[in-house]
Amino acid sequence: MRQARWKKIVGVLAIGLWAGITAHQAQAAKVPEFARPSVQDQKVVDVGKYRGKAVLINFWATWCGPCVQEIPSLVSLQKEFGPQGLQIIGVSMDQDGQGPVQKVIGKKGINYPVVMGDEQISRDFGGIYGIPASFLVDQAGNVKRRFDGLTSHDTFVAAVKQVLQ
Q: Mean pLDDT by 10-residue block, N- to C-terminus, for the chain (165 residues)?
A: 44 36 52 96 96 97 98 98 98 95 97 97 94 97 96 98 96
The answer to whether 61 touches 67, Cβ cutoff 8 Å, is yes
**What per-residue confidence (pLDDT) applies to 6?**
40
Same domain, 17 and 97: no
86-92 and 54-60 as β-strands: parallel, antiparallel, unpaired?
Answer: parallel
Name the helix (H) or strand (E) containing 135: strand 133-137
Same domain, 67 and 122: yes
Same domain, 62 and 10: no
Q: Which domain holds residue 144?
A: 31-164
**What per-residue confidence (pLDDT) applies to 28?**
61
Name the helix (H) or strand (E) containing 116: strand 114-116
pLDDT digits over 18-33, tens only?
Answer: 333 333 343 469 999 9
**What per-residue confidence (pLDDT) applies to 23?**
33
**What per-residue confidence (pLDDT) applies to 66?**
98
Residues in the chain: 165
CATH number at residue 65: 3.40.30.10
Same domain, 79 and 24: no
The answer to whether 93 touches 127, Cβ cutoff 8 Å, is no
**What per-residue confidence (pLDDT) applies to 22?**
35
The three-class DSSP label of residue 28 is: coil
